[in-house]
Amino acid sequence: MTRTLHVAFASAIDVLLGSYLGTVVWCVVVPAVVLGPAAPPIMMNVWASVLGGVVGLCFSLVGASIGRSALEQRWPSGWQRNAVVHASWLLLVVTIAAGWIITRIDPLQLFSQQGLEGASRIFTALFTPETAIIGQAIGAMVETIYLAFMATVFAVPFSFLLSFFSARNLMRDTAIRRSVYVVVRFITNFSRSIEPLIWAIVFSVWVGIGPFAGMLALVVHTIASLTKQYAEQIEDVDHGPMEAIEATGARRVQVIWFSVVPQCVIPFLSFTIYRWDINVRMATVIGLVGGGGIGNMLIQYQGLAQWNEVGMIVIIIATVVWLMDVISARVREALK
């Protein structure tokens, strides 16, 4: 039974790889080679995929199976070995070629007359920052720092509560706890996999463009990230004190409060400060899509092609990010 499954799984991998190869060769590589720059945008072609899949299956049937080699982590013997090795190289080369074509890589652009002129224009401007806007820029930076701070503050109580429900060591003894654990883990992992930038777009439609939208975006992301970090810390606690408090006949909440929490407060504080630091950086980027603060200012001057102003803003961002990084590292070191 498992043997059949294994073979089916290996063949499925071969079919997928074959149809991938067929599609990429026919839809990306061939047009680029034949038509050059005149090639149309990529269009999928079902027949290329099917044909590739069939070839993949044939390889699988004659024993030259990449899927099987990967699953068993050893090469087949005989001529099939050569076939598998060559097919693997072909996959790699075609993938890199397709990547080159799709990314439209053109090193000449970097060094063309026009390109070099553009580069010198922007670098000159960036290195001669417009100091007239320094007050305004610092004001916007302060907005960003507070935005990041508030996002962290709002997220902490939620993360604190949720972390206990997503710590495996506290949630494994009954079926109910295990299901709560799975649900909380799923929700936090899922919301963490959505970038704050996307959340910012969502909230700027919801509550309007501005710092509030940016903060909400960061709150969601911070809750998810801190919950995970806190929970990992909880999973690391010494279980001895838990057992000791449990043995006194204490309730579950008491056990956690008196034996788990004291072991976690300092690391939690340290994670939180680091999160604030990360949030300042993220808040800058979020400002670009309407999350307020310095990012918002940056995108406006960029839109007006006022590069001296942009240079000023970049210098302020870089300085603040660097300072926050140094300070938060020092504070975290002191907390150890």
Q: Which residues bind another protein (CB under 8 A)?
A: 240-241, 243-251, 253-254, 257-259, 262-263
Residue 220 or 264 having the CB closest to another protein: 264
Instruction: Note the maximum CA span of the chain.
Output: 80
Least distance to another protein from the beta carbon of 186, Å? 24
Residue 242 or 310 having the CB closest to another protein: 242
Least distance to another protein from the beta carbon of 245, Å? 6
Residue 121 or 251 having the CB closest to another protein: 251
The rounded distance, in Å, linking the Cα atoms of 3 and 21 is 27
The answer to whether 94 and 25 have CB atoms below 8 angstroms apart is yes
Nearest to residue 284, comparing CAs of 136, 137, 127? 137
Q: What is the CA 28 to chain-centroid distance, rounded?
A: 27
Least distance to another protein from the beta carbon of 268, Å? 13
Q: For residue 86, give both structure tokens.
A: 């060559």
Least distance to another protein from the beta carbon of 251, Å? 6
Least distance to another protein from the beta carbon of 255, Å? 8
Residue 6 or 177 having the CB closest to another protein: 177
Q: For residue 107, give both structure tokens.
A: 């090193």
The answer to whether 223 and 188 have CB atoms below 8 angstroms apart is yes
Residue 103 main-chain phi, psi, to 5 deg = -75, -5
Q: How many residues does the chain have?
A: 336
Nearest to residue 159, comparing CAs of 278, 273, 268, 277? 268
The rounded distance, in Å, linking the Cα atoms of 277 and 131 is 26
Least distance to another protein from the beta carbon of 266, Å? 8
Q: For residue 157, give both structure tokens.
A: 């109580």
Residue 88 or 263 having the CB closest to another protein: 263
Residue 256 or 294 having the CB closest to another protein: 256
